[in-house]
Structure 1
Amino acid sequence: MTRQFVGHRAETDDLTESLSVESRAGLRQFSLERMIGYGIDHADAVEMRARVLDGQDWRSAATALARECLRRVEEAPAIAGVLTRVAYLRRASALLRMGQMMMLTDTDERRDIFGQAAALYARAAELAADREPVCIDTDTGKLAGWLIPSGQPAAPAAIVIGGVEGWAMDFDSIGLELAGRGVDALMLDGPGQGETRFRHRHYLSPSWRHAYGRAVGFLDERAPGRPIGVVGNSMGGSFAMALAVDDPRIRACCDNGGIIAPWMVPPSVGTFYSKMVAFCGTDDADLAMKAWASVTPAADGPNAGYPLLIVQGGHDPMVSMDLAQLLLDQAPTGDKQMVVFSDGQHCVYNHRHDRDVLIADWLTTRLH
């Protein structure tokens, strides 16, 4: 029996110039390393890119590979194949999440795709019994997330958030490293992200601090007084710092790829700017930027002395070294440091394991 694949394709200009604008943008914005960083299996990432290069559109390539993963789920042995089913369910979920990445508006189709991805993730979680869904009520809407417990009573806890594109399920590798070190990890979809957005229609507004504060309260109520940290990835790093400086319950904060002034991202960056506007549940760019203007990572506040770790990629095309240094310099805490991966991409996706271990070790040390 032969399992047939398209296989690796050299991504030359001659090959890509005939592709659609969306396909070229997808290949450019979501590198192989970034796809893997969002939970895509290496083989699936290679195959998806090859299919796109051969002319299949971004969404259908991801969806077709997800269907193949689901076929493997059904073929797995009833008793011996539990781990196999979990693995393929998670692979299928990650592929569906990647498939909707190039959709710029919140259509019913996009909600359906993301809903399918979330359902597969939930099915895997139920089989593996290693994480549990969370829904938190706030004044502005519900927050969705996943709690990866450490299994230790009254353990420290951390909130892990993504950015404009990658969300709770996409960064669960950090949560797993934290839980393995005795830190309960809440993988949170904040306002404008993931299930919070597509299922509960809860978007970014100037009231976002209250919503995140309720997430901190959720962890505190489960084990009153325990130390709590926050990890923000990409634009989530800006949220994490702005939250940490205002909330004395936050004992430590890691920013992996945030910027000092999110509201200053110009319209010229194209699809990313459009996604920032959609993050706010509107098509009014001025209204959206007013919401983003409330995200102030370098501002002073009642918890200004919080420990801060900034993780930066030396080859980050979105956040330059100068911008990262500016954020480090202007952060109000005196307890701060930056670790640079010299060849690191945005969010250091190309060193995912080393990045995750660095963040988890540092945060665990600060919270214990």
Structure 2
Amino acid sequence: MQLPVSEAGADSAKRNAALMRAVPLTRLVDYGVTVGDALELTARISTKEAPAWDLVAEDMAGRYASLAREAAADGCMISAAQAWACAAALNHVAQLAYNADEPRKAALYEAGRQAVIAHGSIVGTVSELQLPSPEGALYGWQVAPAGGAPLAAVVIVGGLSGWGAVYLSMAQALARRGVLCVLAEGPGQGSTRMRSGLHLDAETLPLFTRFVDHAHASGARRVGVCGNSFGGLFAAHMAAMDPRVSAVCINGAPMAPTVPDFRTAREQMAALFGVESESALEQRLTDLRMSPHKHRIDAAMLVVEGGRDPLVALGEQASFFDLGQRQRCQLMTWPDGEHTIYNHAAWRNAQVADWFCAQLLPDS
């Protein structure tokens, strides 16, 4: 399909270049984009007169949606499910081009949501969650293991711009080990923000534990939480406020966040919290900061860090250990690891899933 050249010219080229720095090939693959599609996306937006990032990713997603429908019409349901998963991943990375919740971002995210629903209707183990709350519906996904009722569950939380189904590969690593996975889109995230209009503040932060409620209601006797990027801070809060959390993994988060220097991160935080002024943003971050004087985590704790993480310095996350029991804390380091270990995603998923199994299924 021939796409229109962006009307922004040089500005669009700069924006595409900035997005490629923020969303490198390793992150695209971690979010479910195939290597071939990641290479195609970056190649198509790399020229000076290239279309915008979101137009190219959306075009590729549409191609997969057509392939999914054709495969289903031919009775090739496994191929249809695979194509819907590819369409979802590409729509999810397309929406990364926008920080604020303008209609274009919401439409792209909704297209990703519909693709995951279509994928789940075929595979049978992936289903959407809409958990009621007085403030509005909390959205997410459940990834169930094959076989009997799970004895354990893990709630996975994303950060500022990647949520929910972008962590399907991590969820599937847990499901293959017999663990139910809940992909949470909490206040300020994903469809919970864009459909329910629910933002994050000190009052809505406890709503993250509604996903723990769901895990217990599904039959899990033990529950863990895993937070990726800024979501690691949310996971730590969940573990501190909810004694039902038996294990927590923090992957790439600051314990005491401050207003970032980068405009993109500031805009993403403003969207998360639903604020406009820097003073309001500072207050929200102050409310989120954790310290041993105010917070205690009794759950087993795993911190995952990378030596090439430009956002969270090596060793910085060790401060979370001050909130817990040192003998129950473990550090997992990739010396060459990028932010949240994008560049070793498959082995990261395996190692983190094995750790959760050791904590939540000790007799298995």
Normalised TM-score (structure 1): 0.90
Q: Give deviations 1:129-171, integer Å, cap 9, x for gaps.
A: 1211111122332210111112432521110011001101111
- For 2:80, the equivalent position in structure 1 comes to 85
Q: Cα 1:100–1:302, aligned 2, differ >3 Å: closer, same or farther? A: closer
Query: What CA distance in whole angstroms lies between the structure 1 residues aligned with 2:231 and 2:102?
Result: 24
Query: What CA distance in whole angstroms lies between the structure 1 residues aligned with 2:231 and 2:118?
Result: 27
> 1:322-341 alignment to 2 at 5 Å?
322-328=315-321, 330-334=322-326, 335-341=328-334
Query: SS in structure 2 opposite 1:171?
Result: helix
**Are residue 132 (structure 1) and residue 117 (structure 2) matched?**
no
Q: Cα 1:207–1:68, aligned 2, differ >3 Å: closer, same or farther? A: same
- For 2:26, the equivalent position in structure 1 comes to 33
Query: What CA distance in whole angstroms lies between the structure 1 residues aligned with 2:178 and 2:22?
Result: 35
Query: What CA distance in whole angstroms lies between the structure 2 residues aligned with 1:93 and 1:195?
Result: 14
C-alpha contact (below 8 Å) 2:259/2:282 kept by paired residues: no
Aligned residue identity for 1:60: L
Q: Give deviations 1:230-267, integer Å, cap 9, x for gaps.
A: 000000111111210221100000011111112x133x
- For 1:283, the equivalent position in structure 2 comes to 276
Aligned residue identity for 2:125: D
Q: Cα 1:236–1:77, aligned 2, differ >3 Å: closer, same or farther? A: closer
- For 1:347, the equivalent position in structure 2 comes to 340
Query: SS in structure 2 opposite 1:272?
Result: helix
- For 2:7, the equivalent position in structure 1 comes to none
Deviation of 1:100 (Å): 1.3
Query: SS in structure 1 opposite 2:96?
Result: coil
C-alpha contact (below 8 Å) 2:249/2:302 kept by paired residues: yes
**Are residue 212 (structure 1) and residue 208 (structure 2) matched?**
yes
Deviation of 1:298 (Å): 4.2
Query: What CA distance in whole angstroms lies between the structure 1 residues aligned with 2:200 and 2:241?
Result: 18
Aligned residue identity for 1:309: L
C-alpha contact (below 8 Å) 1:39/1:170 kept by paired residues: yes
Deviation of 1:216 (Å): 1.3
Single out whichever of 52-61 and 287-296 deviates more from structure 2. Answer: 287-296
Query: What CA distance in whole angstroms lies between the structure 1 residues aligned with 2:294 and 2:169?
Result: 31
Query: What CA distance in whole angstroms lies between the structure 2 residues aligned with 1:237 and 1:64?
Result: 32
C-alpha contact (below 8 Å) 1:245/1:299 kept by paired residues: no
- For 1:271, the equivalent position in structure 2 comes to 264
**Are residue 110 (structure 1) and residue 105 (structure 2) matched?**
yes
- For 1:10, the equivalent position in structure 2 comes to none
**Are residue 238 (structure 1) and residue 260 (structure 2) matched?**
no
Query: What CA distance in whole angstroms lies between the structure 1 residues aligned with 2:66 and 2:299?
Result: 48
- For 1:179, the equivalent position in structure 2 comes to 175
Query: SS in structure 2 opposite 1:76?
Result: helix
- For 2:160, the equivalent position in structure 1 comes to 164
Q: Cα 1:72–1:306, aligned 2, differ >3 Å: closer, same or farther? A: same
Deviation of 1:336 (Å): 0.6
Match for residue 123 of structure 1 among 118, 124, 130: 118
Query: What CA distance in whole angstroms lies between the structure 2 residues aligned with 1:282 and 1:234?
Result: 21
Q: Cα 1:247–1:89, aligned 2, differ >3 Å: closer, same or farther? A: same
C-alpha contact (below 8 Å) 2:295/2:323 kept by paired residues: no
**Are residue 145 (structure 1) and residue 137 (structure 2) matched?**
no
Query: What CA distance in whole angstroms lies between the structure 1 residues aligned with 2:72 and 2:272?
Result: 42
Match for residue 351 of structure 2 among 332, 355, 358: 358
Aligned residue identity for 1:236: G
Query: What CA distance in whole angstroms lies between the structure 1 residues aligned with 2:38 and 2:183?
Result: 23
Query: SS in structure 1 opposite 2:151?
Result: coil
Query: What CA distance in whole angstroms lies between the structure 1 residues aligned with 2:76 and 2:70?
Result: 9
Query: What CA distance in whole angstroms lies between the structure 2 residues aligned with 1:167 and 1:37?
Result: 12
Deviation of 1:333 (Å): 2.6
Deviation of 1:72 (Å): 1.8
C-alpha contact (below 8 Å) 1:32/1:46 kept by paired residues: yes
Query: What CA distance in whole angstroms lies between the structure 1 residues aligned with 2:87 and 2:290?
Result: 35
- Structure 2: which 5+ runs fail to align? 2-9
Deviation of 1:22 (Å): 1.2
Query: What CA distance in whole angstroms lies between the structure 1 residues aligned with 2:357 and 2:293?
Result: 25
Q: How large is the Cα RMSD of the aligned pairs?
A: 2.2
Normalised TM-score (structure 2): 0.91
Query: What CA distance in whole angstroms lies between the structure 1 residues aligned with 2:164 and 2:87?
Result: 16
Aligned length: 351
Aligned residue identity for 2:192: T
Aligned residue identity for 1:161: V
Match for residue 202 of structure 1 among 198, 201, 217: 198
Aligned residue identity for 2:88: S
**Are residue 188 (structure 1) and residue 180 (structure 2) matched?**
no
Query: What CA distance in whole angstroms lies between the structure 2 residues aligned with 1:78 and 1:313?
Result: 45
Single out whichever of 52-61 and 345-354 deviates more from structure 2. Answer: 52-61
Deviation of 1:174 (Å): 1.2
Q: Give deviations 1:19-65, integer Å, cap 9, x for gaps.
A: 62211110111110011111111111100000100222111111111
Query: What CA distance in whole angstroms lies between the structure 2 residues aligned with 1:361 and 1:104?
Result: 34
Q: Cα 1:100–1:154, aligned 2, differ >3 Å: closer, same or farther? A: closer
Deviation of 1:80 (Å): 4.5
Aligned residue identity for 2:171: G
